[in-house]
């Protein structure tokens, strides 16, 4: 093989490695945003929440860089097969991570309001939910780094406990609201924070699905195991 062609091949591998590193960096940032916005909520720490708000633009910037870099690779390298799928996957995953960042930012905004409101009930469910979605997110990004379709498939099926905690939080908050109207403002914000975490879990699942596609080239079935039934919840007030 002439040296020039060898050089081009190695260089494209380096391009792909750079793209992978960008995704890993973005994934790490998104995880930190989810962790910090949840800590800010639970410790009523508005300074930390403010840091989350400030850092969000880094995630947005990374998404733009990953997309621009991916489009450039598509144009210059005209990749096929697994390389093409990896670049498509990088764009999709960066979009999921950007959405995760947005949900964390929204949670941070709400935690600033919540820090000024009286709270009833425990926030432990939020901590558990955040830990689970972070674990799934980490595992999904790891699966990408390891080219591990089987690990990706496991993450894809691991979102059910997140949905269960969400449904439990939803019912508990509705109960608090019915018990005392002074809980309504705080509980409403908490409903959305819980919904945000549930959506973050969905995006971690999407990332796992995309990794599976990138590695194997096939798509997982349309419906994954899902047990969030809160859209159908009709809890009635105790007293009337």
Catalog residues that contact its own copies under the rule CB under 8 A.
Answer: 57, 60-61, 64, 67, 71, 74-75, 78, 80-81, 84-85, 88, 91-92, 95, 106, 109-110, 112-113, 116-117, 174, 177-178, 181-182, 184-185, 188-189, 191-192, 195, 219, 222, 231-237, 239-240
Q: How far is the CB of 147 from its own copies (least distance, A)?
A: 18
Q: How far is the CB of 84 from its own copies (least distance, A)?
A: 6
Largest CA distance in the chain: 84
Q: Nearer Cβ to its own copies, position 45 or 135?
A: 45
Q: Nearer Cβ to its own copies, position 33 or 106?
A: 106
Which pair of structure tokens corresponds to residue 195?
């919904």
Q: Nearer Cβ to its own copies, position 31 or 198?
A: 198
Q: Nearer Cβ to its own copies, position 101 or 135?
A: 101
Cα 173 vs. chain centroid, distance in angstroms?
23
Distance CA 190, CA 188 (A): 5
Place of tokens 């890993």: 24
Give 158's DSSP letter.
Answer: T
Give 223's DSSP letter.
Answer: P
* Contact by Cβ (8 Å): 137, 211: no
């Amino acid at each position: 093989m002439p040296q020039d062609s060898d050089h081009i091949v190695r260089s494209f591998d380096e391009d792909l490695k750079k793209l992978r590193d960008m995704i890993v960096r973005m994934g790490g940032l998104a995880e930190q945003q989810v962790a910090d916005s949840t800590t800010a909520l639970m410790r009523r720490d508005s300074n930390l929440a403010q840091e989350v708000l400030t850092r969000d633009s880094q995630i947005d910037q990374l998404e733009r860089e990953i997309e621009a870099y991916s489009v450039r690779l598509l144009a210059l390298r005209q990749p096929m097969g697994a390389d093409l799928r990896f670049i498509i996957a990088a764009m999709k995953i960066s979009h999921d991570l950007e959405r995760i960042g947005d949900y964390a930012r929204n949670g941070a905004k709400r935690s600033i309001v919540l820090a000024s409101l009286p709270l009833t009930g425990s926030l432990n469910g939020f901590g558990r939910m955040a830990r689970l979605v972070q674990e799934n997110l980490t595992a999904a990004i790891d699966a990408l780094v390891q080219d591990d379709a089987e690990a990706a498939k496991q993450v894809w099926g691991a979102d059910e406990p997140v949905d269960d905690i969400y449904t439990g939080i939803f019912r508990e908050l509705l109960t608090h609201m019915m018990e005392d109207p002074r809980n309504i403002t705080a509980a409403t914000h908490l409903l959305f924070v819980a919904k945000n975490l549930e959506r973050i879990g969905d995006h971690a699942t999407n990332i796992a699905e995309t990794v599976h596609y990138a590695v194997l080239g096939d798509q997982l079935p349309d419906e994954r195991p899902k047990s969030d039934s809160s859209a159908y919840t009709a809890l009635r007030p105790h007293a009337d």
